[in-house]
């Protein structure tokens, strides 16, 4: 079955739109889910499926450097459920949230459902954290700072040093961090993902959102998890019990298997680094295209503002002339305008074809 990123598109159009993988989910996940069905593991599991909690604790220790207990891991109905729950337990009406942008739109929008006020603080020109700007945006009512690391859509992978600076601010002002780390496994050029919750003092001040939708291609399976300290996790568990009871057991069992698929994740990362290099090299051929190679994620986020009046015009042009679907950067908040997001989690042949079409279309546009 084709990912839904192709839905509604002409047969000849390539989708670099919706953030879905073109690759099949790990076979270990499929096997685990089929076995779970055959073994009849489809009854309530109020506390979470034990093997999922256990695998998550092990992975948090090994990969994220976070020492968690099983009570501090909450299975969620995908990352969206984790985002909603994080803001639900942290915010009350009138609270203030700083969101570093460009970023995944629900991270900006959701606090407003809880009558909180949002300030978007743009990343620096190199897409890294602008600590000074964040500090300036603080008010007496600021409760949460939200980051997406590695960043969707810019591909920035925050360094330990800048996360330590952010942590210092958070601890000094008694704030919380909501950290969306869905792309944690996809970092290039030997860069290592650092979870802000692993820094001293930060495990009590951070809710971290993890998932399987992106790297593992498990978008329709609706499973993710959050790490939060015991009391926060307990409140999130209670809130979710009233909204969905808990995520499906079959998905939790699949997710437990996914957490052990290191070779799948490593192969994908190595492959995507080649895809990224190819895409970046091609796009940079075009005069007027500005593109910082993404340090992580599966997105390129070129600036096309010297070629188009607006990013929406660029999207329409590329869909019509290159027959490639990309997303407008202005949808990702302050600092995204003028850019477009290209999802390159596809076979290299597809990305080469898409890149060739885009280069041809843009070159025609940029010719004097």
18 near a copy of itself, judged by CB under 8 A: yes
User: Token pair for residue 240?
Assistant: 């979710």
Nearer to a copy of itself, 102 or 247 (CB): 247
For the CB of residue 151, give the shortest distance to a copy of itself in the complex, in Å: 21
Q: Which stretch binds a copy of itself (CB under 8 A): 115-123, 213-221, 274-282, 352-360?
A: 213-221
The DSSP bridge partners found for residue 209 are 180, 226
25 near a copy of itself, judged by CB under 8 A: yes
Cβ atoms within 10 Å, residue 245: 11
Q: Where are the beta strands (DSSP E) in the chain?
A: 14-15, 73-76, 96-101, 117-122, 142-148, 176-180, 206-211, 224-227, 299-300, 324-325, 327-328, 340-343
306 near a copy of itself, judged by CB under 8 A: no
Q: How far apart are CA 103 and CA 301, in angstroms?
A: 12
Number of residues that bind a copy of itself (CB under 8 A): 49
Nearer to a copy of itself, 24 or 313 (CB): 24
For the CB of residue 77, give the shortest distance to a copy of itself in the complex, in Å: 4
| Plot region of 78 (φ>0 → left; ψ -120 to 50 → alpha; else → beta) | left
Question: Considering only residues 43-72, where is the footprint of a copy of itself by CB under 8 A?
Answer: 43-46
Q: How far apart are CA 33 and CA 161, in angstroms?
A: 40
Give me the 214-243 binding string for a copy of itself, x by CB under 8 A, dash otherwise.
Answer: ---xxxxxxx-----------------xxx
Cβ atoms within 10 Å, residue 116: 20
CA angle 34, 36, 37 (to 5 degrees): 65
Candidate list 249, 303, 330, 346; residue touching a copy of itself; CB under 8 A: 249
246 near a copy of itself, judged by CB under 8 A: yes
The DSSP bridge partners found for residue 15 are 325
Give me the 86-115 binding string for a copy of itself, x by CB under 8 A, dash otherwise.
Answer: --------------------x--xx--x--
Candidate list 14, 15, 20, 97; residue touching a copy of itself; CB under 8 A: 20
Residues counted in the chain: 368
Binding site for a copy of itself (CB under 8 A): 1-4, 7, 18, 20, 24-25, 30, 33-34, 37-46, 77-78, 80-81, 84, 106, 109-110, 113, 217-223, 241-251
């Amino acid at each position: 079955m084709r990912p839904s990123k192709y839905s509604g598109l002409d047969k000849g159009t390539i989708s670099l739109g919706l953030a879905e993988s073109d690759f099949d989910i790990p076979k270990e996940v499929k096997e685990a889910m089929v076995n779970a069905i055959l073994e009849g593991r489809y009854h309530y599991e109020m506390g979470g499926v034990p093997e999922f909690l256990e695998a998550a604790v092990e992975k948090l220790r090994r990969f994220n450097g976070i020492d968690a207990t099983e009570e501090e891991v909450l299975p969620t109905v995908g990352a969206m459920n984790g985002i909603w729950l994080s803001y639900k337990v942290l915010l009350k009406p009138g609270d203030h949230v700083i969101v570093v942008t460009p970023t995944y739109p629900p991270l900006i929008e959701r606090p407003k459902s809880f009558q909180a006020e949002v300030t978007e603080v743009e990343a620096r020109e190199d897409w890294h954290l602008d600590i000074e700007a964040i500090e300036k945006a603080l008010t007496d009512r600021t409760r949460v700072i939200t980051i997406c690391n590695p960043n969707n859509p810019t591909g920035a992978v925050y360094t330990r040093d800048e996360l330590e600076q952010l942590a210092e601010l958070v601890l000094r002002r008694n704030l919380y961090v909501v950290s969306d780390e869905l792309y944690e496994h996809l970092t290039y050029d030997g860069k290592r993902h650092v979870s802000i919750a692993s820094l001293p003092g930060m495990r009590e001040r951070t809710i971290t959102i993890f998932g399987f939708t992106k790297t593992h291609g498990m978008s329709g399976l609706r499973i993710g998890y959050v790490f939060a300290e015991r009391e926060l996790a307990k409140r999130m568990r209670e809130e979710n019990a009233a909204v969905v009871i808990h995520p499906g057991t079959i998905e939790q069992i699949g997710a437990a298997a996914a957490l052990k698929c290191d070779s799948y994740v490593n192969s994908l990362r190595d492959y995507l680094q080649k895809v990224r290099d190819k895409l970046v090299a091609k796009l940079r051929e075009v005069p007027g295209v500005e593109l910082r190679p993404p340090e992580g994620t599966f997105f390129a986020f070129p600036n096309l503002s010297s070629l188009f009046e607006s990013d929406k015009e660029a999207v329409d042009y590329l869909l019509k002339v290159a027959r490639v679907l990309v997303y407008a950067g202005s949808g990702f908040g302050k600092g995204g305008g003028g850019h477009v997001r290209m999802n390159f989690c596809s076979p290299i042949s597809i990305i080469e074809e898409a890149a060739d079409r885009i280069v041809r279309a843009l070159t025609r546009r940029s010719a004097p």
